[in-house]
Amino acid sequence: MSKRILVVGGVAGGASVAARVRRLDEDAEVVMFERGPHVSFSNCALPYHLSGQIEQSDDLVLMNPTIFQTQYNIDARVHSEVVKIDPEKKQIDVKHVQTGEITQEAYDKLVLSPGASPIVPPLPGVDHNHVFTVRNVVDIDRLNKFVQNDTVEEVTVVGGGFIGLEVAENLVHAGKKVTLVEAQNQVMAPFDYDMVQILHKEMSDKGIRLILDDGLASIEEDKLTLQSGTEIPSQAVVMSIGVRPETNLAKDAGLEIGKTGSIKVDHHYLTSDPHIYAVGDAIEVHHKLTHQKTRLALAGPAQRQARAAAGHIYGLPSRNTGVIGSSVVKIFDMNAASTGLNERMLKSLDYDYDVAYVIPSDKVGIMPGANQLHFKLLFEVPSGRILGAQAIGKGNVDKRIDVIATMITMNGTLEDLQETELTYSPVFGTAKDVVNFAALVGLNLLNGRYKQVKVDQVRELVENDAFIIDAREKGAYRMGHLKNAHHIPLSEFRERLDEIPEDRPVYIYCRSGQTSYNMTQALTNMGYENVFNISGSFLGVSYYEYFNDQEQNREPIVTRYNFN
Amino acid sequence: MSKRILVVGGVAGGASVAARVRRLDEDAEVVMFERGPHVSFSNCALPYHLSGQIEQSDDLVLMNPTIFQTQYNIDARVHSEVVKIDPEKKQIDVKHVQTGEITQEAYDKLVLSPGASPIVPPLPGVDHNHVFTVRNVVDIDRLNKFVQNDTVEEVTVVGGGFIGLEVAENLVHAGKKVTLVEAQNQVMAPFDYDMVQILHKEMSDKGIRLILDDGLASIEEDKLTLQSGTEIPSQAVVMSIGVRPETNLAKDAGLEIGKTGSIKVDHHYLTSDPHIYAVGDAIEVHHKLTHQKTRLALAGPAQRQARAAAGHIYGLPSRNTGVIGSSVVKIFDMNAASTGLNERMLKSLDYDYDVAYVIPSDKVGIMPGANQLHFKLLFEVPSGRILGAQAIGKGNVDKRIDVIATMITMNGTLEDLQETELTYSPVFGTAKDVVNFAALVGLNLLNGRYKQVKVDQVRELVENDAFIIDAREKGAYRMGHLKNAHHIPLSEFRERLDEIPEDRPVYIYCRSGQTSYNMTQALTNMGYENVFNISGSFLGVSYYEYFNDQEQNREPIVTRYNFN
């Protein structure tokens, strides 16, 4: 007898489960229920409708029920909300959204892919009709039509995650005056505070008013008020502070909920009921590096879960080594990618780790379009196992992070990474790719050949009159340098050793960390015992300080900023 | 007492050795000898001077002797050709190119990085002054000045490797009428014959006259003649048929030469003499996948060799797991990258392997700038170990190949690759990245869930009236299809099963391999025992046939070509 397989939710995970079931079993009856009017739309592409990069909102819909029917023999029912599961009877209640009618559907296996819903805190004014969330095609269509009205000049985006940033950028492209409000002291949680300053600056430079460390208090017709009392004129507000897994259906059915508040599943995405699977943003998953359960609302892992769950219905085992959390975002001219754990997470997990922060050129410097690439590599001490990386720049940062993600998947170490032989042509990169270079720096740190201080320690050094050397040549130094730095170029230091003290620590920087590394090594080899390279060097410190100075209205420690 | 370390050759490998020695030992006396007028230039960027992308040839020189001296305390001597090594006396003879004077220099350790020289076969006319090779800044400067003359309208490039293709493209950008002659039946040996047709077409489309399977016979003032007798008008000829390792110096010194004809080195790049190292294009290296010695003239490996050799002088061990051969090239609008072994190599090594060839979109299809990406993944049977990959398209093919290169470095399998969690945003890729997708296809092949025929078998099928199904919908079919294909769209096949024979093999294709895969699976699940997906599908077959039809003047099996 053929199996009857019901799927709750028709986007990403749900649609993938249904299609995979069909590929495994031509006879199965597959029905997919979706509350909204669309199945299988590109949720990640929604923000790009606001700038017109995706002209028609209809284009966001990848497959319609007719195609599911004719091509896959899948019954995709829209406007159909599953409101109850009866695990005993193996039956669900489906509410037909437009009529209110409720019908029952029996299943052999049920797969939940309900997703997660935007969090809207119960604050005064959040129910105004100029307040929006961005979850689906209907949402983005409504928001887009609203902001196209000329009376909407100012828009505030609340929340600086992926969706918040992408919505903010696309609204700027659409000609709006955009404010972005974030309750934390930084946007984009996957990045560390030092790296994310580059994104803060990019957003400011491109005209976004960025307000950090402040939260929404209330919304009125033509403005909103923050917890600090700051008022922001806004004719439209987009709420993107985060998502909450949709677990009500599962809870009501008595399915086990995990510690994270998401649906608990086993190795094969089976819930606590042996006939109900769950995948996607509503479940908690095993993290390969923390060894803990976590929530991860990303499309790639959802697809893999869908495949594994569908396979398991048919007795196919699948390997589940856990997620690592890889992501990338474009913010105006900057691309920012990350994978694995960042420093905040590593500290909270009490990992013994170290960091290599380098800023080389993303391709051969003389080629048109070459740009600096900020790259931060995190690794375990003493094993050298690679734990995470972050990369920001105008070039192909995603490819470097994908290499690190692959390394993490394979439990790779700095040794492995330094010898990884990547593609090279001056059009695409450098012979010693940034990931190889970062691995070498990491190995030198691990082997104690080299000591460093991090960008967040530099202000203290400057203010305490530490002995800091700017190792760059004259022209670069004149374009800006650290306050009180001693200017001793690499080309002169061997003749000016008498200026470098042996009885106190010496801190060295250049623009990108390579010149200063050479001087650090040379002085160490000469017998200087306390020589430190400034990690991230001038460019990293400049980015780090730039935004902090402005925000905290404090005395700059960088005499001038030269970000080019 | 400080060491005296001499380095022969001041480009790539040589310069890297010298700089690394200095970082390890501030006291060492380091002298680098370079026959030409420049040390440390970007040899990979040379062709880009011809189009003006790199305006000044001086820009190609990255470091001059003064910088080596002041910043690294390295004595870089140009116009200094090392003409003899006396291993007994640990001494070399250096000829000062401009004066002819010869002096002796003693060493503690000697590092050879002489590189490889362009092969110029002894054919009539190759010594004309309108015949060029491209090895260094002097060469490219001379070629550039020559072709800038308006009387030079037609240029022929002999040899279709990296340099040949890049020179040809840049000459087209400079307004020249370019012919490229290649003795093999394809350009770019790292790629298989099926994949490389995309590059053949791109070059033809962009105005290059591409002549394959024909070799140079002789060169005259205003034309050249091929072995076939074909005459090609040319006012300039660039010879780029390959390079020959510079081993004379090593041979004369009695150093052991390997089977490949290159200098033999051990794990740490030590030659047969305990005080002489060798790195770069003149040595033979261990190949991780073939377990044999090979020659590999690439910049990335050379840098790693340099680092290892310099480290070994100071007693530092280094891991040497062998090369895999990763590379990338841009040809007009196409990017082409490869790593590991290709089918030709696998066959010659008698590997049991299989191939997944898929052509998905390189980013979410609705995003501006999305393009198809041809991806070929090679893996071992039955282990699933990944052996190589090739990717060609307008988008970021390099990042996909870098992931595979990392996998090969880590001895990864299809299982590993399918679960690798890569960065995703619709701007950069697809939620199920092409490498994940290819791994899934590979696993299905490995597990016998799915059978395929390769693009090079399709002509035979068509000519023998095999039962071939075009699974695409009407519009796509009308734009072009395989001759004699039965048009049974995925959306109709379940109602038209009576048209599909059960007693003979059925071959299915679509545009990219995904739709046909669904139909292949469905029919197999229905009990059809002999259903095959056509690997590479319509797009792959079209590219494969397109060029062959023209070249071999044969009857097309594709009714029309639709490459978009």
pLDDT in tens, B200-257: 999 999 999 999 999 999 999 999 999 999 999 999 999 999 999 999 999 999 999 9
Q: Do A425 and B71 touch (CB under 8 A)?
A: no
- Which residue from B10, B50, B51 is spatially nearest to B32, judged by alpha carbons? B10
Q: What is the DSSP string of B331-354?
A: ETTEEEEEEE--HHHHHHTT--EE
Bridge partners (DSSP) listed for residue A111: A7, A277
Token look-up 């400034």 returns A534
Q: Give chain A positions within 8 Å (CB) of B70.
A: 490-492
CA-to-CA distance for B513 and A488, rounded, in angstroms?
61
User: Would you call A339 and B423 a contact, using CB atoms and an 8 Å cutoff?
Assistant: yes
A27: chain B residues, CB-CB within 8 Å:
525
What pLDDT, on the 0 to 100 scale, is given for residue A186?
Answer: 97
| Residue of A366, A400, A450 to mutate, testing the B interface (most B Cβ within 10 Å of its Cβ) | A366
Q: Which of B324, B426, B515 sits opposite A45 (nearest CB)?
A: B426
Greatest pairwise CA separation for chain A in angstroms: 89
B29, β-bridge pairs: B4
- Residue B529: both structure tokens together: 């025992």
Selecting from A22, A27, A415 the residue whose C-beta is nearest the C-beta of B319 gives A415
Lookup: tokens for B563: 């490459």
Token digits of residue B88: 């007994």
* Domain A131-241: top CATH class: alpha beta
**In contact, B51 and B143? CB cutoff 8 Å:** no
In chain A, the residue whose alpha carbon lies closest to the alpha carbon of B417 is A406
pLDDT, tens digit, for every residue of A80-101? 999 999 999 999 999 999 999 9
CA A368 to chain B, closest CA, distance in angstroms equals 7
Interface of B with A in 180-239 (CB under 8 A): none
Q: Which of B390, B396, B436 is nearest to B536 (CA)?
A: B390
pLDDT above 90: residue A123 = yes
Q: Which residues of B touch A45 (CB under 8 A)?
A: 364, 366-367, 426
- State how far the Cα of A539 lies from the Cα of A195, in Å rounded to an integer: 11
Q: B419 and A409 in contact by Cβ < 8 A?
A: yes
- Contacts of residue B44 in chain A, CB cutoff 8 Å? 364, 424-426, 431
Q: How far apart are CA A291 and CA A311, in angstroms?
A: 24
B292 and chain A in contact, CB less than 8 A = no
Intra-chain end-to-end CA distance of chain A, in Å: 68
Q: Measure CB to CB from residue A399 to each of B327, B398, B412 and give the nearest one.
A: B398
- What does the alpha-carbon distance between residue A373 and residue A68 come to, in Å, rounded to a whole number? 43
Cα distance between residue A186 and residue A456, in whole Å: 15
User: What pLDDT shows up at residue B385?
Assistant: 98
Q: What's the Cα-to-Cα distance from A232 to each of A147, A178, A206, A430, B14, rounded to whole Å? A: 17, 10, 19, 46, 61
- Can you give the pLDDT at residue A461? 96
Query: Do B340 and B388 touch, CB atoms closer than 8 A?
Result: yes
Cross-strand bridge partners of residue B379: B354, B386
Q: Do A431 and B328 touch (CB under 8 A)?
A: no
Nearest-Cα distance to chain B for A32, in Å, is 18
Residue A198's H or E segment, with its range, is helix A193-205
Average confidence (pLDDT) over A116-128: 97
Per-residue pLDDT at B458: 95
The helix (run of H) or strand (run of E) holding residue A81 is: strand A80-86
B333-445 belongs to which CATH class? alpha beta
CB pairs under 8 A between A and B: 253
* C-beta neighbour count of A368 within 10 angstroms: 11
Distance CA B156, CA A500 (A): 59
Contacts with A394 (C-beta within 8 Å, 6 or more apart), sequence order:
A333, A334, A335, A362, A371
Q: Which of A290, A283, A289, A233 is nearest to A259 (CA)?
A: A283
Distance CA A336, CA A169 (A): 14
Mutation site for A-interface testing, chosen from B3, B40, B422 by largest number of A Cβ within 10 Å: B422
Q: What is the pLDDT of residue A564?
A: 64
Among candidate residues A414, A421, A416, A406, the one with its CA nearest the CA of residue A440:
A414
How is domain A4-115+244-313 classified at the CATH fold level? FAD/NAD(P)-binding domain (3.50.50)
Q: What is the ipTM of this complex?
A: 0.96
Contact B187, B195 (CB under 8 A): no
Query: Smallest CA–CA separation between A324 and chain B, in Å?
Result: 7
> pLDDT tens, A446-505?
999 889 999 999 999 999 999 999 999 999 999 899 999 999 999 999 999 999 999 999
- How far apart CA A552 and CA A539 sit, in angstroms, is 20
Whether A284 and A263 have beta carbons less than 8 Å apart is answered as yes
* Total-model pTM: 0.97
In A461-520, the residues whose Cβ lies within 8 Å of chain B are 490-492, 494, 515, 517-518
* pLDDT single digits (tens) A271-317: 999 999 999 999 999 999 999 999 999 999 999 999 999 999 999 99
Whether residue A382 is preceded by a cis peptide bond, meaning omega within 30 degrees of 0, is yes
Q: Is B60 on the interface with A (CB under 8 A)?
A: yes
* Chain B nearest C-alpha distance from A428 (Å): 8
Q: What is the mean pLDDT of chain A?
A: 95
- Residues of chain B under the 50 pLDDT cut: none
Architecture, CATH, for domain B452-552: 3-Layer(aba) Sandwich (3.40)
Residue with tokens 């679509």, as numbered in its chain = B510
Active site residues of B: 510
Please list the residue range(s) of chain A that carry CATH number 3.50.50.60: 4-115+244-313, 131-241, 333-445
Lowest mean pLDDT across A111-125, A253-267, A410-424, A546-560: A546-560
**Are the CB atoms for A156 and A220 separated by under 8 Å?**
no
Residue A78 has what DSSP assignment?
S
Which pLDDT does position B559 carry in this prediction? 87
**Tokens 């005296």 label which residue?**
B4
User: Within an 8 Å CB–CB cutoff, is residue A386 touching chain B?
Assistant: no
Q: Is B103 an 8 Å CB contact of chain A? A: no
Assigned token pair, B49: 């001077």
Q: Which of residues 149-188 of B touch A (CB under 8 A)?
A: 162
Query: Catalytic: which of A123, A203, A404, A510?
Result: A510
